[in-house]
Structure 1
Amino acid sequence: MSFFAPVFASIDLDLILIAVLIMFIAGFVKGAVGFALPMVAISGIGSLMPAAIAVAAIMLPAALTNLWQALRDGPRAALGSLMAFRWYVLLIVCVMGMVAPLVSILSTEMLFIVLGGGVTFFAVLQLAGWRPGPELGKTRIATIISGVTAGVFGGLAAVTGPAVVLYLLAREVPKVEQVRLQGVIFLLGLLVVITVHGRTGVLNELTLPLSVMLIVPAIAGMGAGLLVQDRLEQETFRKATLVVLVVAGLNLLRRGLMG
């Protein structure tokens, strides 16, 4: 219990229990649609705690659930997906590593405004009927724009999902491979971000135990969500991802504008 003592000494028990529930819900959403654990978790936990603490708290749950997602079909399948999109993945990971230090500099309000505005913008475009075709999705400029955007948002709060999902939808990647590739991208990016935050101090004696504490509810929620994902049709899957983006994005934006 001494490992978790800083958490219980600094954060009310009621807030910890709410954070556990939020992480379970975030894990469920990730299991169902293949992404969005960071968005849902930051949207909820960030309403209870400062942004830097919320960002740090999701690091380990996100990394382990992404490991599960990436390797669900075996290491060979994960490696195949990685090699097929290796330059795209490398671009995202490099940008995430460069942007991650800004978390310790930006204010809570600015962090949420940037995240919420970007997430909402992407989702509303899609729900309004705009969807890049496969011809555009396969261009080099689309790969660069998506990779840089995903890296920026991923570096700020592990929210790599929106740009990656829209890019893979444009490329018409099949659902199973899309989910697997998302897990690979998110995992590699998070490993870089965790390393950076270990040096910046965002991961510290308070946030590291909190992050460990949230691993179990995240994995439990993801397990429940996977049962739903396996029953989703491709179009239903696409619409579900966009609905999740809108809800999470608007809440992040509200948090940033209203405090």
Structure 2
Amino acid sequence: MPEVISAVLAQEGLVWLIFGTFIAGVVRGFTGFGTALVFLPIAGLVLPPVQALVVLVVMDLIGAAPNLPRAVRDGHPGKIALMLAGALIALPVGLMVLFSVRPELFRYAVSGIALLAPALMAAGFRLTRPLGPGLLFGTGVLSGFLGGISGLAGPPVILLYMASNLPTQAIRGNIMSYLSAFGLLMIGVLAVQGRFFPEAALIGLLLAVPNLLGNLAGAAMFRPERAKLYRATGYAIITASALAGLPLWD
């Protein structure tokens, strides 16, 4: 164990990981989403793909925990469970693809999705029909597959709920609840596959502290009447992180 701790503290780019984690927590705290969209492009600069996923899910589960009870109250747990059922089917398939590609492709995929997601969210598309079981299950399948190949399980769910006519608190609550539950799902699948690496988990525990502080700061700033401002700020931070994470700058 001392050797593992020493390796964690000697991790290249640890300062950048800490900074990126805090900013990701702030975005998550006041918008309900954005941790992976901000963190993974930065993490991809210094960590192998699977280790980056382990770090993300560990630190995000702990960092978002204080905001989760409110999110569950504001959201709809039954609908979240339906999306998770779809995600469970597709997540192992996405991970299988991830394990077979080069790290550079992982970084391109992460940055590409992170650039596309804010553009789609800002486009203002709106659903004219209720969120039925088929739509929710299908969104979960897409989320699980994207979560497996890139760690970005959030965009399909975020787009779905932001296109709905639900109140801001319900949108935020559903997204936060789903992302936390998906993190537990990811840990379970990686553990079964023997890829839940202890060094990465320890880095995730270390980064949970700045992530937690960022989440608390973001939640303290959240006001439902300022939802548009928070979203615009989140989009800008996500875009900047995605551009910085592109392999073009190596």
Q: TM-score range by the shorter chain?
A: 0.7 to 0.9
Aligned residues: 250
Aligned in 2, Cα 1:61/1:200: closer, same or farther, shift over 3 Å?
A: same
After TM superposition, the structure 1 stretch with the greater mean CA deviation from structure 2, 227-236 or 54-63, is 227-236
Alpha-carbon deviation of 1:221?
A: 1.3
Which of 236, 240, 247 is matched with 1:247 structurally? Answer: 240
Contact 1:101–1:196, Cα closer than 8 Å, also in 2: no
Aligned in 2, Cα 1:52/1:97: closer, same or farther, shift over 3 Å?
A: closer
Aligned in 2, Cα 1:14/1:47: closer, same or farther, shift over 3 Å?
A: closer
Whether 1:213 and 2:206 are equivalent positions in the alignment is yes
Q: What is the CA–CA distance in structure 2 between the aligned matches of 1:249 and 1:54, rounded to whole Å?
A: 15
Q: Any stretches of 5+ residues in structure 1 without a counterpart?
A: none
Alpha-carbon deviation of 1:103?
A: 3.5
The one-letter code of the counterpart of 1:176 is Q
Q: What is the CA–CA distance in structure 1 between the aligned matches of 2:33 and 2:105, rounded to whole Å?
A: 23
Q: Give SS of 2:198's match.
A: coil
**Residue 113 of structure 2 aligns with which residue?**
118
Q: What is the CA–CA distance in structure 1 between the aligned matches of 2:55 and 2:230, rounded to whole Å?
A: 28
Whether 1:48 and 2:41 are equivalent positions in the alignment is no
The one-letter code of the counterpart of 1:124 is A
With normalisation by structure 2, the TM-score equals 0.84
**Residue 82 of structure 1 aligns with which residue?**
77
**Residue 71 of structure 1 aligns with which residue?**
69
Whether 1:37 and 2:25 are equivalent positions in the alignment is no
Q: Give SS of 2:152's match.
A: coil
Aligned residues with identical type, % of pairs? 17
Q: What is the CA–CA distance in structure 2 between the aligned matches of 1:258 and 1:137, rounded to whole Å?
A: 43
> Can you list the C-alpha shifts for 1:209-252, whole angstroms capped at 9, x where unaligned?
21221111111111111112237613223333433443333334
**Residue 89 of structure 2 aligns with which residue?**
94
Contact 1:57–1:211, Cα closer than 8 Å, also in 2: yes
> Can you list the C-alpha shifts for 1:13-44, whole angstroms capped at 9, x where unaligned?
66323322221222112112211112222122
Q: What is the CA–CA distance in structure 2 between the aligned matches of 1:121 and 1:170, rounded to whole Å?
A: 16
Q: What is the CA–CA distance in structure 2 between the aligned matches of 1:231 and 1:124, rounded to whole Å?
A: 22
**Residue 133 of structure 1 aligns with which residue?**
126
Q: What is the CA–CA distance in structure 2 between the aligned matches of 1:93 and 1:67, rounded to whole Å?
A: 22
Aligned in 2, Cα 1:13/1:111: closer, same or farther, shift over 3 Å?
A: closer
Query: CA RMSD, aligned part only?
Result: 2.8
**Residue 164 of structure 1 aligns with which residue?**
157
Contact 1:133–1:170, Cα closer than 8 Å, also in 2: yes
Alpha-carbon deviation of 1:7?
A: 4.3
**Residue 4 of structure 2 aligns with which residue?**
6
Q: What is the CA–CA distance in structure 2 between the aligned matches of 1:68 and 1:159, rounded to whole Å?
A: 22
After TM superposition, the structure 1 stretch with the greater mean CA deviation from structure 2, 178-187 or 193-202, is 193-202
With normalisation by structure 1, the TM-score equals 0.81
Q: Any stretches of 5+ residues in structure 2 without a counterpart?
A: none
